[in-house]
């Protein structure tokens, strides 16, 4: 029973290794998540600039901005990956 469970877990983990999620840029291959993270950081910076210009960031807490912007960046990266890099 233990060997079957080990075999099942190994097959499940190796199932993600079928294709390499990468993009060719001038002959070099870069992972998809790298493009998503860079795009998410840029969009988060634009959102921050828009909120600051609108005057909505008057008195944020010390820990509020890092937590909120980290979560926003991760959310934007995952949404971007789901939209642009579907298999």
* pTM: predicted TM-score of the whole model, two decimal places: 0.69
Question: Residues 40, 73: contact at Cβ < 8 Å?
Answer: yes
Distance CA 47, CA 31 (A): 25
Specify the length of the chain in residues. Answer: 87
Predicted local distance difference test score (pLDDT) of residue 41: 96
Predicted local distance difference test score (pLDDT) of residue 38: 93
Written as tens digits, the pLDDT of the chain (87 aa) is: 667 888 888 777 776 666 666 666 777 777 778 888 999 999 999 998 998 888 887 776 777 788 889 999 999 999 998 888 775
Question: Residues 39, 77: contact at Cβ < 8 Å?
Answer: yes
Predicted local distance difference test score (pLDDT) of residue 82: 87
Place of tokens 């291959």: 29
* Residue ranges of domains in the chain: 21-86
Could you tell me the sign of the dihedral formed by the alpha carbons of 12, 14, 18, 20, in that order? positive
Q: How many CA atoms lie less than 13 Å away from 47 in the CB half-sphere?
A: 13
């Amino acid at each position: 029973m233990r060997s079957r469970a080990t075999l099942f877990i190994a097959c499940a983990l190796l199932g993600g290794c079928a294709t390499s999620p990468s993009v060719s840029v001038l002959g070099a291959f870069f992972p998809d998540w790298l493009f998503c993270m860079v795009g998410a950081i840029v969009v988060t910076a634009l959102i921050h600039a828009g909120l600051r210009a609108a005057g909505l960031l008057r008195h944020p807490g010390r820990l509020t901005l890092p937590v909120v912007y980290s979560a926003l960046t991760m959310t934007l990266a995952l949404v971007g990956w789901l939209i642009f890099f579907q298999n």
